[in-house]
Structure 1
Amino acid sequence: MKALLFMETDGEKVLGGSLELISAAKALDAEKTALIVGSRVAADTVAALGVPVIFIDTAVDCDTVTEVLSQMVKEQNPNIVLLSNTVMAKDVAPRIAARIGLGCVSDVIEIKKDDGKVIYTRPAYGGTVLEHIEVEGTAVVTVRSGSFSKPEEGSKAAVTEKKVEIPVGVIKAKIIDKVKEISEAVNLEEAEIIVSGGRGMGNAENFKFVEELANVLGGVVGATRPPIEDGWISRAHQVGQSGKIVTPKLYIACGISGATQHTSGMSGSNYIVAINKDEEAPIFEIADVSIVGNVTEILPVMIQEMKKVKEEAK
């Protein structure tokens, strides 16, 4: 099996979600080739992980990336084309599939082999169910960030630079300005520490304890759907099937009961601490440390103790 990985960059370094594609391909025991456009630094980074890289410096936007990736798919003839589920990928993936006549699966959170067949799992109906999809022939697949681990280092592979001619007629849109959204500053997928709050925090004032603990620990704030719908924090912080799937080293769940829609987005965390007054809360089934009690009384104590530890460490 051959896999072509489109490794998206921010103009210089590879996006974390794209790096996870290496682990996704490894799970299928596929022969991997990465395609990187525009950043030679990023190409060298991926090659250092043991993945052969095709580097092209002529693509900069959705139109040109679609053309370049389409040409590489025809040339490489892979069994699967993997992209991280970014804004660009959501635009590019279906265009490539339609142009070449391939299957397309979006927002995949799991890929596995079953009797020689590749099964793609993705959330549906707002994350309330999971559907398993099989594609006949080559599939273009976007993978949700946080679904796979970051790759380990490997022996250095080669970087092959190629020139691709892009016809003038390919470019349909011209970018004249970019506005950075606040959600881009909330990097849940790559955070090593996440402190999340749920409905059990009670109100917006109490939710500030979650934000303060995250700040003390040098982590990022997460949330379940209720706090977001009540306006305590922006949707960019949502963790779960309808939000971000995360795999931090430490995940602290504050006032979160543990509904499947949320736990499916954070159960891959290395270490989980859960605080809830209900000793039968489902979140305790996956927690490494379970604290039964009033979260608004426990968090101030945790914050104070963490501050003491940090002060002593100076």
Structure 2
Amino acid sequence: MGNILIIAEEREGTLRKVSYELVTVANEIAKGLGGAVEAFVIGNNVGACAEALAKTGVAKVYCADSPALAHFAPEVFAATLADAIRKAAPSVVLMPATGLGKELGAQVAAKLDWGVVTDCITFQVEGGALIFKRPVYAGKAMATIKAKTLPVIASFRPNIFPPAPAESAAAPIEKVEVAAITPRAQVIEKVKKEAVDVDLAEAKVVVSGGRGAKDANGFVQIREIAKMLGAAVGASRAAVDAGWIDYSTQVGQTGKTVAPQLYIALGISGAIQHLAGMSSSKVIVAVNKDPDAPIFQAADYGIVADMFEVMPVLKEELKKVLAEK
């Protein structure tokens, strides 16, 4: 049986939290299938990322570090990763179910002629076979997918599993050569997106709005509260479908899974699909005028009131608290 290889993801020289979460998944799979856990990181100036991975208990870290990888070029990244996988010969490759991870996973699977399972939220090892579960039909059902043969590639959603803790002992780091491929597209300029919102998947505090926001103007007030808290803005599917806010903010089985220290739900009823995307939050505060709203079953603190009555009071209290700091 081969090893378990996790593909880490970095952003501006820092590992994303999902990379550490994949180490946790790999450790659990290794208990059932055997083999060691190894890691791979790719990018430009990612030496510090490789060193951080080396202290998570993995047996080895493969590192492809080159100025040629400064910008994401799918064909170069995929070819480099595929070559590294051929040499490492793992039985399972784990990737983050992010935009980058999904694109790379599909291309690498095609190059290697492997099976690929995407957007997984859980798994089990049964009789030497890997069985994955992933949401389907807009989160209304769960699909069970069995990998009858190995090797296989699987991508897992962020914020489902706890991140692997750091260990004192560091694993060896092996340099990987970058594939000698000229990208078909050339990056002329890279413009950083205006930092309007905090990254939803990485945020420690999330303020989300739902149907109770009534329209896009309701989210203007939600953004004001989020800015005061240094929080990310989230939304229910109802708000996104209504066109009040971009899909990138959607929390739930058909959006993003979050696990912040604090989750504030404003005007969200709490459909099961939404709850599945935020139930791992440490503290949940819900505001809804319907006392029977399902969100209150998941909340640590609940306020039965119209969100538009609560938000002005909340902003005033936040101003007082922030003024004292």
Q: Is the 8 A contact 1:186 1:220 kept in 2?
A: yes
Distance in 1 between residues matched to 2:119 and 2:48, nearest whole Å: 28
Structure 1 stretch displaced more, 20-29 or 187-196: 20-29
Would you say how many aligned residue pairs link Structure 1 and Structure 2? 311
Task: Show CA shifts across 1:235-294 (max 9, x none).
Answer: 221111221110101101111111122111111111111111111111111111122122
Where structure 1 has 5 or more consecutive residues not aligned to the other structure, the ranges are none
Q: What does residue range 160-175 of structure 1 map to in structure 2 within 5 Å?
A: 160-164=173-177, 166-167=179-180, 170-171=181-182, 173-175=184-186
Give the distance between the partners of 1:213 and 1:181, measured in 2 at CA: 21
| Pairing of 1:119-268 with structure 2 (within 5 A) | 119-136=131-148, 137-164=150-177, 166-167=179-180, 170-171=181-182, 173-177=184-188, 178=190, 186-268=198-280
Following TM superposition, the consecutive aligned residue runs of length 4 or more in structure 1 with deviations greater than 6 angstroms are: none
Inter-CA distance 62–269: structure 2 relative to 1 (3 Å threshold):
same
Task: Specify the alignment match of 2:94 in structure 1.
Answer: 82
Give percent identity, aligned residues only.
37
> 1:53, 1:157 within 8 Å by CA — same for their partners in 2?
no
Equivalent in the alignment of 2:309: 297
Rounded Cα–Cα distance in structure 2 between residues aligned with 1:256 and 1:197? 6
Superposition deviation, residue 135 in structure 1: 0.7
- Equivalent position amino acid for 2:16 in 1: L
Q: 1:11 to 1:301 in 2, by over 3 A?
A: closer
Partner of 2:19 in structure 1? 18
Using the TM superposition, give the Cα deviation of residue 173 of structure 1 relative to its aligned residue in structure 2, in angstroms: 2.1
- Say if 1:196 and 1:210, in contact at 8 Å, map to a contact too: yes
- Could you say which residue in structure 2 is the equivalent of 1:43? 50
Greater Cα shift, 207-216 or 272-281: 207-216
How far is the alpha carbon of 1:185 from its aligned partner? 5.6
Question: In the aligned structure 1, how far is the partner of 2:140 from the partner of 2:160?
Answer: 17
Q: Partner residue of 1:57?
A: 65
TM-score (norm 2): 0.87
Equivalent-residue separation in structure 2 for 1:42 and 1:206 (angstroms)? 40
Post-superposition Cα deviations, 1:140-182, rounded to whole Å, max 9, x if no partner, equal 1122222222222223322323343635xx5462333356567
Matched, 1:109 2:121: yes
Q: Give the counterpart letter for 1:192 in structure 2.
A: K
* Residues 82 and 143, structure 1, Cα contact 8 Å, conserved in 2: yes
Whole-Å separation in 1 of the counterparts to 2:38 and 2:197: 30
Is the counterpart of residue 71 in structure 1 residue 76 in structure 2? no
User: Which secondary structure state, in structure 2, belongs to the residue aligned with residue 90 of structure 1?
Assistant: helix
What residue number does 2:292 align with? 280
Instruction: Please list every run of 5 or more consecutive structure 2 residues that lacks an aligned counterpart in the other structure.
Output: none
Q: Deviations over 1:61-92 (max 9, x none)?
A: 32222222222222222221011123332222
Moved more, 124-133 or 203-212: 203-212
Q: Say what the alpha-carbon RMSD is for the aligned residues.
A: 2.4
Kept in 1, the 8 Å contact 2:201–2:257? The answer is yes
Separation in 2, partners of 1:184, 1:171: 34
How many angstroms apart in 1 are the aligned matches of 2:293 and 2:126?
34
1:109-141 CA-partner distances (Å, limit 9, x unpaired):
223334553221212122222211111212111
